[in-house]
Amino acid sequence: MNDLANYNFAYLDEQTKRMIRRAILKAIAIPGYQVPFASREMPMPYGWGTGGVQVTASILGPSDVLKVIDQGADDTTNAVSIRAFFQKVANVAVTTRTADATIIQTRHRIPEEKLGEGQTLVYQVPIPEPLRFLEPRETETRKMHALEEYGLMHVKLYEDIARNGHIATTYAYPVKVEGRYVMDPSPTPKFDNPKMHMSEALQLFGAGREKRIYAVPPYTEVVSLDFEDHPFEVQKFDRPCALCGAENVYLDEVVLDDKGGRMFVCSDTDHCEDRRAHGHAGAMLAPAAKESQEAAE
């Protein structure tokens, strides 16, 4: 019992995988629609990526190369933990390099590097229902999706504008998929929304606790909801990454001291490292790091 080798390849039993695989195929066939599935208890807590883990476990094969990120970083503790889980139960090859991965499981970010045809992005989703906070009842939201009745969502976004002068939704920003279903892109910052549109990669979304799987196939229209007089726009950072000098990427704010000192660095750690390896340097890259890079080149 304490020997994980006794578990099936990729942990899940075959019957569970079949059930999830059927759900994935239906999800692909109905882009943006949330397919109910009989989510299993996983050996990590609900809310910590059990949906993503079940999706990954069901699609993963021995020749895959897996990358796991949380907040864009490969070395955040939960990403480390999920990666270690798949190494243990599937003996799968892992990588931190976006370009080398065939499956990328993510929480809260889409990699900066453009994803390609052979890749599948698996999102961990806490609340799959974009209408949940407008109407908590599943019985009601299901009807709204069935009737394509999304007026409430527009009203909510418009109320934001009236009150704040801005649409106050900064992450989990709702999108419409292929002109039909309004979908929650998971709590990625809206900065990442445009990357979903006509992506070359397959995007799968797993919500374990809420027992839903949904998908965006490659080359599919994903449009962030907006208004003619308030078009959708993403965050803009007024400075480049302090370590690699990258612009037009999503940055994390790092507090340096108790005197208000802070710096902004790439949230996508692989992207940042890759740029530094190619000689890009930001204003605050440690001199030692700069030197060793120069020596390596």
| Positions marked active-site | 32, 241, 244, 266, 272
Chain-centroid distance of CA 120 in Å reads: 11
Contacts of 29 (CB under 8 A, 6+ apart): none
Segment near other proteins (CB under 8 A); pick from 93-101, 149-157, 210-218, 223-231: 210-218
- Within 8 A by CB and 6+ apart from 78, the residues are 48, 49, 70, 107
CB contact set of 41 (below 8 Å; sequence gap of 6+): 50
Answer yes or no whether residue 5 interacts with other proteins by CB under 8 A. Answer: no
Nearer to other proteins, 75 or 159 (CB): 75
Out of 157, 242, 249, 281, the residue judged to bind other proteins by CB under 8 A = 242
Among 3, 229, 259, 297, binds other proteins (CB under 8 A): 259
Q: Which of residues 31-50 bind other proteins (CB under 8 A)?
A: 31, 33, 35-43, 45-48, 50
Cα–Cα dist 199/30, whole Å:
17
The correct pick among 51, 111, 126, 128 for binding other proteins (CB under 8 A) is 126
SS3 277: helix
Span 149-168, contacts to other proteins by CB under 8 A: 164-166, 168
Give whichever of 178 and 226 is closer to other proteins, judged by the CB atom. 178
State the nearest-atom distance from the C-beta of 260 to other proteins, in Å. 4
Cα gap 213→273, rounded to integer Å: 33
- If the CB atoms of residues 229 and 258 are measured against other proteins, the closer one turns out to be 258
Count the alpha carbons within 13 Å of 90 in the hemisphere toward its beta carbon. Answer: 25
Q: How near is the Cβ of 33 to other proteins at its closest, in Å? A: 6
Residues 161-200 touching other proteins, rule: CB under 8 A, are 164-166, 168, 170-172, 178, 180-181, 187-191
Under rule CB under 8 A, which residues in 47-106 are in contact with other proteins? 47-48, 50, 58-62, 70-72, 75-81, 84
The residue assigned the tokens 């279903």 is: 181
**Pair 17, 208: CB distance under 8 Å:** no
CB neighbour list of residue 164: distance below 8 Å, 6 or more residues apart: none
Nearest distance from C-beta of residue 153 to other proteins, angstroms: 18
Provide, rounded to whole angstroms, the least separation between the CB of residue 39 and other proteins: 8
**Which structure tokens are listed for 45?**
């807590």
Total residues contacting other proteins (rule CB under 8 A)? 117
User: Does 18 participate in binding other proteins (rule CB under 8 A)?
Assistant: yes
Give φ, ψ of 223 to 5 degrees: -115, 125
Say which amino acid occupies 136. Answer: P
Q: Which residue bears the tokens 């990729």?
A: 10
Per-residue mark of binding to other proteins, 211-240 (x: CB under 8 A): x---xxxxxxx-------------x-----
Tell me: does residue 260 bind other proteins (CB under 8 A): yes
Residues 6+ apart with CB under 8 A from 90: 9, 10, 11, 57, 60, 62
Q: Which of 66, 131, 157, 243 binds other proteins (CB under 8 A)?
A: 243
CB 106, min distance to other proteins, A = 11
Nearest approach, Cβ of 85 to other proteins (angstroms)? 11
Write the DSSP assignment of 39-64 as a string of letters: PPP-SS-TTSSHHHHHHHHHH--TT-
Backbone phi and psi for residue 141, each to the nearest 5 degrees, phi listed first: -65, -30
